[in-house]
Amino acid sequence: MNTAVHGDLQVVIITGASDGIGAEMARQLAQRHGPALALVLAARSLQGLENTATHCRGLGAQCLVVPTDVAQEDQCRALIAQAVENFGHIDTLVNNAGVSAQALLADVQAEDLHWYQSLMQINLWGSVWCTHAALPYLQARKGRIVAVSSLAGLIGVPGRTAYSATKFAMTGFFEALRSELVGAGVSVTIAFPGVVLTQIRHHGLNAKGQTAGSSGLREDNGMGVAQCVRFIIAGMQAREREVVMTSAGKIGRFIKLIAPGIVERMAMNALKDEVKPR
């Protein structure tokens, strides 16, 4: 490896880069930075990663595809090691990989409850393991960490007990880490998307821990994925602490402090009728 060749490259690792927000983030960054960018793309789907990489290479970016299941610690650490082996450094880590879920706790049978733990392993621990492995390299470059949480990580949403738990945990971890890194020059940006028009909820889990195949949320006013990613990239580049990209999210988090019942009703109204508590 010739580090002189790679020294001026901006090296960005994106988990969950095979589709949705992660893939679109890779494409937009490649469009902006072209040959000055090296993308390390991680997800479980090799074909999805290759599709993302092909598009980004067409825009001039270098791409390293690393099939990764973030639920496995050894794969998270191998991802970071491969990035450093190929490019010599890391400038940005985007913790985006995650799985959604839609189920009322009362509908989950005791023998199926283990998938709550599995969801935590993906949504929280995948981010923790990747961040821990990348941290020395990010400190060396005074880099950036991006955590893609959710409005469900700020406001508990009915039917999202498992998902909200993982995203609240993720938010707490990265808020605490941000404080730890103040003197290191490493920024931590937490993004809180609302309903974004991707397939994440369709691929999410139902009460049995199986793929739901549909969304339990109303998506009439959902945000396009390209617009969502533009918000995240702007926040990342400005080293903002948080990116809350909807007016409902911005207002709701403050109303929650003084009139939590109103926020609970807002959250209930976001659900389709067929999945509301009976």
Chain center to CA of 46: 18
Residues 131 and 13: their CA atoms lie apart, in Å, by 11
Per the structure block, which two tokens stand in for 32? 């902006």
Per the structure block, which two tokens stand in for 84? 């450093």
Q: Which ranges of the chain would DSSP assign to H, the alpha helix?
A: 3-6, 20-33, 46-58, 73-87, 114-120, 126-141, 161-180, 225-237, 247-258, 260-269
- Is residue 105 within 8 A of residue 23, CB to CB? The reply is no
Catalytic residue numbers, as ranges: 163
Residues 142 and 135: their CA atoms lie apart, in Å, by 10
Contacts 24+ apart (CB under 8 A), 181-185: 181/139, 181/145, 184/139, 184/142, 185/139, 185/142
Per the structure block, which two tokens stand in for 221? 């006013």
- Is residue 153 within 8 A of residue 171, CB to CB? The reply is yes
